[in-house]
Amino acid sequence: MRRTSQFFVYLVLTIWAAIVMFPLWTLVVNSFKPQKEIFSSPFGLPQHFTVEGYKAVWVNGNFGTYFLNTLYVTVISLVLIVLLGSMAAYALAKWHSKTSTALYIFFIAGLMIPIRLGTIDLVRLMKFLALQNTIWSLIPVYVAMGMPISIFILTAFVKNLPREMFDAAKVDGAAEWRIYSQIVLPLLRPAIATVAIFNMIKIWNDFWFPLVFIRMEKARTIALGVSLLFGQYRTDWTRALSTLSLAAMPILILYVFLSREFIKGLTAGAVKG
């Protein structure tokens, strides 16, 4: 009976993995095909293998600039989200009062209110700060966008840490900053990995705010650059799929390196003992 149940579990997981991998397979395989072959055989292996799409992306498509811009914005935003979110989570978890509860609810409300509703005011703010048409206009928006989920996840983790551990550290003379940096942060690695992956996907793939804030070629991100490949009357699908394949690699690599911590973060608290 147990083997039968395990068989069905693995069968379902295998089918689900195939469904999830199918779009990625189609994306990568078609990026090595000529335009005509993409339409004639969209799901098969390439019969006329070509890397012209990747060459065009690097040589003529300005992909390197788009990639570096997106990388800078994503890394800086994630560092600020994790740093500020973990400090706020530690403070909110240790501070027991009506004010701390109100602040926590204020942060969590950001999960229910889309930040895009404030686009017009954000444009005015970026003009006032002289940040429009630069990649630096995206960072404060992404940090604000990532803080609610960061505080929501990290606060729950800090609250589950043993209180005796903090008391013992204080008895040994450790200050709050030392407790946070040397005790809390290392224990938050699974939660930080979860926060990083959730926010990286949103930031890396965001199209709306680069479209609104950026007009200059040298400040465009990958998502905005890819959109320029889709024309009204004609689209170079080989080049577009090559760009999308390259753009998807960093997220996949990050997930591979952080997958263990990510799974720990999702399952923490599900089993006690």
Domains and CATH numbers, the chain: 61-228 (1.10.3720.10)
To the nearest 10°, report the CA torsion of 111, 112, 117, 121. Answer: -50
Confidence of residue 269 (pLDDT cuts 50, 70, 90): very low
What's the gap between Cα 239 and its chain centre? Answer: 24
262 pLDDT exceeds 80? no
DSSP assignment letter at 271: S
Q: In sequence order, what DSSP letters do the residues of 4-37 get, joined into one string?
A: HHHHHHHHHHHHHHHHHHHHHHHHHHHTTS-HHH
265 pLDDT exceeds 60? no
pLDDT, tens digit (0-9, with 9 covering 90-100), for 128-142:
988 888 999 999 999
What does the pLDDT read at residue 273?
39
Query: Under 8 Å CB-to-CB from 196, ≥6 apart: which residues?
Result: 78, 82, 254, 258
Pairwise CA distance, residues 191 & 86, whole Å: 10
For residue 46, report the phi and psi dihedrals to the nearest 5 degrees. -65, 130
> For 31-137, where are the alpha helices, taking DSSP H only?
35-40, 52-59, 63-94, 98-108, 119-128
DSSP assignment letter at 205: T
272 pLDDT exceeds 50? no
What does the pLDDT read at residue 263?
64
To the nearest 10°, report the CA torsion of 249, 65, 56, 251. Answer: 10
Q: Given the structure tokens 């008391």, which residue do they identify?
A: 167
Pairwise CA distance, residues 174 & 188, whole Å: 19
Please give the average per-residue pLDDT across 167-187, as a whole number.
83
Distances (CA, A) of 136 to 42, 126, 220, 237: 39, 9, 11, 31
pLDDT, tens digit (0-9, with 9 covering 90-100), for 14-71:
998 889 888 888 888 888 888 788 888 888 888 888 887 787 777 776 778 888 999 9
Please give the average per-residue pLDDT across 243-265, as a whole number.
73
Does the predicted model carry a pTM greater than 0.85?
no
